[in-house]
């Protein structure tokens, strides 16, 4: 499994087919939530699940929300996760973007 944090936003990551990707972002503040605002191409990368805020000892006790993806086929895709109140994208507190290249 490849693990990324907010510091890798905007990068390109290489995955092998059938490899998992975990994105750990700072837990959303009260009234906000992380939303998958741009979905990846499901032929390349499938969204698996979201694990709500957990405390990670290796991140100095910071709470993180984890989003997991699975590389299903070769190709390029991208996605965006946005921390926002309700459905108001204009009031977004943060955005995480990533481009993924999956090789067979």
pTM of the prediction? 0.88
List the domain range (segments joined by +) for residue 60: 2-103
Summarize pLDDT for 74-87 with one digit per residue, the tens: 999 999 999 998 77
Q: Between 25 and 57, whose confidence is greater? A: 25
The domain that holds 88 is classified in CATH as 2.60.40.2020
Residue 84 is encoded by which pair of tokens?
């926002």
Report how far residue 93's alpha carbon sits from residue 104's, in angstroms, rounded to the nearest whole number.
36
What is the number of domains present in the chain? 1
Summarize pLDDT for 13-47 with one digit per residue, the tens: 999 999 999 999 998 888 888 999 999 999 999 99
Angle among Cα 41, 4, 77 to the nearest 5 degrees reads 15
Report how far residue 20's alpha carbon sits from residue 22's, in angstroms, rounded to the nearest whole number.
7
């Amino acid at each position: 499994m490849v693990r990324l944090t907010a510091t890798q936003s905007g990068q390109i990551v290489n995955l092998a087919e059938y490899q998992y990707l975990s994105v750990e972002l700072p837990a959303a503040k009260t009234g906000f939530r992380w939303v998958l605002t741009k979905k990846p191409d499901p032929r390349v990368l499938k969204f698996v699940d979201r694990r709500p805020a957990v405390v990670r000892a290796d991140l100095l006790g910071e709470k993180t929300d984890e989003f997991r993806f699975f590389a299903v086929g070769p190709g390029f895709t991208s996605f965006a996760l946005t921390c926002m109140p309700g459905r108001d994208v204009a009031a977004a507190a943060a955005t995480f973007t990533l481009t993924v290249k999956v090789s067979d």
